[in-house]
């Protein structure tokens, strides 16, 4: 089940990036809710919030290691029942895979959700963030038991 969820998220991420590249020029912006939410094509050459710009090799190696470790862990856990912990890893896996594909293909990550008060991001970034929050929550509730 986790691999199906991850595959759907990865597919949506890559489809959305394909469409934004097809219909937008770099740094072009379309206001959907003027001043609040825009679609803006940005080439992110760094990590979260654009830090560590132009460190493509480091990002690729780090993402590959994380993806392999998460995949092996999830593969071992595949016969166990669905859990918040495995869902969180699946979300991180999908997001890391989506951004890794961008870095390998383009040398940067395609970002496009622009809330104007926050750095521009994409579906993969959202998946990683939600996965990390759920992972933290899962660890906290497991420790309480």
For residue 139, give the H/E element and its range: helix 123-144
Question: What residues are labeled active site?
Answer: 111, 125
Give the residue among 24, 4, 9, 3 at the shortest CA–CA distance from 110.
24
Residue 46 is classified by DSSP as S
Specify whether the backbone of 54 is left (phi greater than 0), alpha (psi in -120 to 50) or beta. left
Q: Cα(9)–Cα(2) distance, rounded to whole angstroms?
A: 11
């Amino acid at each position: 089940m986790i691999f199906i969820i991850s595959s759907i998220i990865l597919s949506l991420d890559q489809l959305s990036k394909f469409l934004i590249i097809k219909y937008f020029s770099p740094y072009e912006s379309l206001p959907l809710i003027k001043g609040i939410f825009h679609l803006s094509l940005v080439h992110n050459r760094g990590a979260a919030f654009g830090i560590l710009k132009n460190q493509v090799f480091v990002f690729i190696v780090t993402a590959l290691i994380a993806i392999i470790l998460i995949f092996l862990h999830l593969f071992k856990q595949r016969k166990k029942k669905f859990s918040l912990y495995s869902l969180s890893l699946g979300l991180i896996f999908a997001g890391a895979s989506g951004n890794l594909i961008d870095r390998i293909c383009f040398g940067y990550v395609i970002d496009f959700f622009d809330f104007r008060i926050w750095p521009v991001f994409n579906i993969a970034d959202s998946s990683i963030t939600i996965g990390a929050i759920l992972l933290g929550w899962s660890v906290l509730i497991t420790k309480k038991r």
